[in-house]
Amino acid sequence: MSIRLTSKQAAALAELAGRVGDVVLHQLEATAQEEQARDVYATPHGTATGYRIAVDGSVSSIGETLSAHD
């Protein structure tokens, strides 16, 4: 599955990775009616707590999410 980012999400992701290190990305699959970019979920490597990066580039902590352990 491809992950689609807006330029604001990409900038926010770069800043987040700069603070927390490597991250694993997740994105819910879009439906046929949702062809635009969607929120992206980033989990710092080695953890199970992550962040939501909205289309507008805002970042919010979401607590426990999909694990980013090897």
Query: Mean pLDDT in runs of 10 for the chain (70 residues)?
Result: 85 95 80 68 87 93 69
Q: What's the pLDDT at 47?
A: 84
Q: What's the pLDDT at 58?
A: 96
Q: What's the pLDDT at 13?
A: 94
Predicted model pTM? 0.78
Instruction: Retrieve residue 34's tokens.
Output: 């949702």
Rounded Cα distance between 51 and 24, Å, is: 10
Tell me how many degrees the CA angle 9-13-14 measures, rounded to the nearest 5. 120
CA neighbor of 27 nearest in space, from 52, 61, 59:
52
Instruction: Retrieve residue 54's tokens.
Output: 């909205």
What are the extents of the domains in the chain?
Answer: 7-29+37-64
- Strand-pairing partners, residue 53, are 40, 59
Q: What's the pLDDT at 2?
A: 76
**One-letter amino acid identity for 13?**
L
